Amino acid sequence: MSINRRSFLQEVKSHLSSKEAKLKIEAELDDHLLRTKQSWIEKGLEEREAETKAVLQMGSPTLLGKKLNKLHRPKVDWLLIGLLLTILSFGLLSLFTLSRFGYSGFSFSKAVVFVIIGLCVSMIMMFIDYRKIRHLGWLFYLAGAGILIVIHFFFNITINGRAYLSIASFAMDSTMAIPFFLLAWASFFSSQTFRIWKFLLLFLLSLFLLLQNSTLSIIYLYSVTVFIMLWWSPFTKKSVIMITLSTFVLVGTSSVILWGKLMIYQKMRFLAFLHPDVYDNSTLLSAHRLIREAGWFGHAISKSALSSPQADLVFVSFTYMFGWILAGILVLLMILLTVRMFYVLPRIQDSYGKRLLAGAAALYTIQLLSNLGMIVGFFPIITLALPFISYGLTPMLLNSFLIGIALSVYRRKDLHMDRA
């Protein structure tokens, strides 16, 4: 490399903040300079003069370096972060108000700690380069399976049919395996050598492990997320459609078999959803009554209104306390968050990043729509948190991880190395 070309490239690189961008841009500029130099040589110039011409033709290295730095530096999705912070504020407002009204089924100070932990998880995930773990799919799959196996054999708490492993003050359930499976499936679906038989084997194995100690809500979230990610897999559309239809048949058959293993309250909830005029649906009726009575600006909520106003039906208590206007704003913000993730998705050109973001956006959206669907009667009532609003460390960790994935992918969307 001659002095002119080397000094030019070094000056351009000195204005770049991303180490990866420096390597990539240096290679591209050097190749362009060599081709330009060769064209001048073919026109009759000597090598040194041809190289000088090629360098001068590129313009100021300082201006070029600053321009390229703006294009290739890591990005921060401030809109997504802003939406997240606003939604978390709404959640804390709801829990603070419930605590003032005398509800004792939760700790507001713990809720604040959960939010801080969640924000830390999102920020840590944002700064982790997701591309460096794209080939660790098998490791993540084994980690997810290992969590389920450990919970199955060593759980020491059972709440509403869900097994928990309690360590100190932290209780872990099978929900904690989902982030690892999400990373694994994104890796598998990004590989051109991944085959259908591998997908079926790995999916059925993970489903079997989930069935051992998970509630239907966790199995539902996991299964729907995997099949949404399946549409971004290297399989043909015909194969994806055949797999999806076959799975529907399998789920229908399994539902008949598993019906006898459901608890009485689970059966009653499902039957009340199908036949609300025949079976008791007092929970949903109470929720509808509270929402109707909320008015534009809300009321003080009594202790007898809902059994767990901070959990799955937190949106009902939020609406009753703060009214239709603030509840509508909350729904709009949560929808905007999912729209933002899906809006960015087509702009991601890295195959692994695209599948990761698709899975994260799908899992968040499924929780949101299903929880709101329960309240309006479009979905049976199950144990399912409203993202960032319901009280609890596990749902906070899960959804903070999803937002962190979205931030990590967005941060490096202009630093991709391969195309989907």
Please check the confidence at residue 113 and state whether its pLDDT lies above 90: yes
CB 417 within 8 Å of CB 139: no
pLDDT at 112: 94
pLDDT at 216: 78
What is d(CA 136, CA 97) in angstroms, rounded to the nearest whole number? 44
Compute the average pLDDT of residues 101-130.
Answer: 90
CB 143 within 8 Å of CB 172: no
What is d(CA 140, CA 135) in angstroms, rounded to the nearest whole number? 10
Q: What is the mean pLDDT of the chain?
A: 83
- Kindly report the number of other CB atoms within 10 A of residue 167's CB atom: 10
User: 262: phi > 0 → left, psi -120 to 50 → alpha, else beta; which?
Assistant: beta
pLDDT at 16: 78
CB 119 within 8 Å of CB 86: no
Please check the confidence at residue 9 and state whether its pLDDT lies above 60: yes
Q: What is the pLDDT of residues 122-148, one digit of tens each?
A: 999 999 989 889 999 999 999 999 999
Q: What distance, in Å, lies between the first and last C-alpha atoms of the chain?
A: 34
Among 21-25, 32-36, 183-187, 247-251, name the one with the lowest average pLDDT: 247-251
Compute the average pLDDT of residues 375-379.
Answer: 81
pLDDT at 117: 95
- Kindly report the number of other CB atoms within 10 A of residue 138's CB atom: 12
Q: What is the pLDDT of residues 228-277, one digit of tens each?
A: 898 888 888 888 888 878 777 766 666 666 666 566 656 666 666 666 66
Distance of CA 261 to CAs 11, 208, 384, Å? 70, 15, 20
Tokens of 367: 């929780």
Q: What is the pLDDT of residues 55-85, one digit of tens each?
A: 888 888 888 877 777 766 778 899 999 999 9
Q: What is the pLDDT of residues 291-326, one digit of tens each?
A: 888 889 888 776 556 667 777 889 998 999 999 999
pLDDT at 237: 84
pLDDT at 231: 84
Helices (H) and strands (E) in the chain, counts: 16, 3
CB 121 within 8 Å of CB 84: no
pLDDT classification of 419: cutoffs 50, 70, 90: very low
CA-based radius of gyration for the chain? 26
Q: 3-state class of 385 per DSSP? A: coil
pLDDT classification of 420: cutoffs 50, 70, 90: very low
- Kindly report the number of other CB atoms within 10 A of residue 195's CB atom: 12
Compute the average pLDDT of residues 336-348.
Answer: 94
Tokens of 23: 């390597």
pLDDT at 211: 82
Please check the confidence at residue 400 and state whether its pLDDT lies above 50: yes
Among 63-72, 159-168, 240-249, 330-339, name the one with the lowest average pLDDT: 159-168
Tokens of 313: 């039906």
CB 184 within 8 Å of CB 144: yes
Beta strands 162-167 and 170-172, pairing class:
antiparallel
Place of tokens 């076959």: 246
Partner residues linked to 167 by β-bridges: 170
Rank 132-141, 189-198, 275-284 by mean pLDDT and report only the highest. Answer: 132-141
Strand order in the sheet with 170-172: 157-159, 162-167, 170-172
pLDDT at 261: 58
Compute the average pLDDT of residues 279-292.
Answer: 75
Nearest one of 39, 41, 14 to 26, comparing CA atoms: 14
Please check the confidence at residue 1 and state whether its pLDDT lies above 50: no
pLDDT at 163: 67
Note the pTM of the prediction, 2 decimals. Answer: 0.82
